[in-house]
Chains A and B, each alone.
Chain A
């Protein structure tokens, strides 16, 4: 019997375990297997293989039963995820349905999730800007949250490293709030976007309108062809999964790359319950899972563990990993685990018309758009709110037809639409401030279908966010006016936190183990062989999209982990 157990244990032992196969977990898998480690990737959802498991990717608009619209049944059953702009008839298979994975909203929070191999990397909008020193210095400057243990320089080479592999399109713009990267050719502007860019440059020295940086292969390099990926075809139906691998997803890129090493074991339908801590050894020895099909518990063992379940779920796993040594969650000597969660604020927007450039229009589609980097409170504190916001921007014309008539005239009108004028629009992407009162915790009684405590989420906007919304509306109105746009309308949709899908923090990085969970290598201060490199590790949120930074942090931490392991340090 004893021998059998040892055999079973040996069979379930790997060099490394990665929890989650989304954007960050995919990178952990690629880096660890690439460095020769036998790596087990545990993913709670089902397998989704590139191309063959994208059921709607080749469907024509008329082939959808409801031509894309959600049914009442789906909407009624899913009031939360139905609010997400990307959730429609062609994409619903990649989103978590409300009832399947319950959580508790202590305050309203729309938690948007993708539980499958690839996680949310199948669904994301692919905006990928580097963070700058202004972002990593933010907390030290204004005293909110704690100081980051790293600076831009620590991450810069790793940004380059992941950008080259993922394939990022953009311009080198030479803007200090938004460092340049390793770019493929940029997407094209249209004339009204160019007009706005000039108008803004003419009026403000410190405000820029640039072409968005996005994870699309505009010109495949050998490294992309080796991954089996091809040039982006501008279909703009990316969220259904792209058969060309035109955008970066774990499914098209990192996971198959890791598989090719022969070192990866991918185990879908494996819901991680907790990380096992061995008090005698003073280290984590493995992971406990609930098999989603059999509901049986099982254990797997490894020298190092990468936790990449996406920000809030990584908090959940740590909180649920209790032992005598860590009664309040793994590595939680500081008591900050689950606290100081922050997010992005996309509440506000603005739209307008432009009466110029009526002799020109656009042709084709573009899976990206212009971007306005942060310009508020950069060099000095100039407003009554902390930090700042970035913004998306785009212009376009829509065809319209007179639909008043009926009969043959109507038909004639419909088939001969007239081009309307130019419409312009923008939305804000604001940084929120991490606060102790914005937290997640485990509910003491309610369990999920796998017997794991449900996550309780208490996250809200504050006065700083409201002031920022107002400032965005005022400043953009001023910029739109300067560009000669008319019929300007601002909005604040008062959406719930969460819908912006950039939740971060809870297991933040920091220099001091008394006030943070992770050190500068994303290692738990107190359990050196556990690394957390998804959004949970973020000390503050910046105004830029976060996922590229998760990729860079993951690659950097994996490099460190393997070296440390070889030196016998972890």
Chain B
């Protein structure tokens, strides 16, 4: 199971990533070989996670990575580029920081990190923070996906409304009849009402489609 990356669908809505899932988490630690922090790696391994270290920061991360820890101050010092897309399928990002200066704070806010751990590493609290960050990240992904679905839905509603209006105005049909035209076209073409609505608006002549209208009397 790749907890951090799994599809945030309705079916797992009620299943938070619990402590029992901890040892299934795949973790990448972005830190230089010298100047990294072995205490963090040791503790992650002690709690039973799989940890891979990588340096310099890669362009992308493997599909099954759940959490990425990045040593932010080492990154700034080395002037390396850190590629990060905080999109729907990104892993959880946790920044590890030495300094709380405006530069690094600004940088980590732009990266949209999910959590921050300060150096030196104190083992107490890492486990809890890790699980809280993974769960918050998943919740955010779920909300994002719902939002995207809602936006698409809204877009298609507007399209259908406009296509209906076009048919109503051109053929002086009722709203219900106009919708019936769209629906029959969609069935005939084995496609969706949204699709034919788009086509109607871009100039398709529905009168040639052989649609039989059931006029309401």
Q: Tell me if chain B binds chain A.
A: no
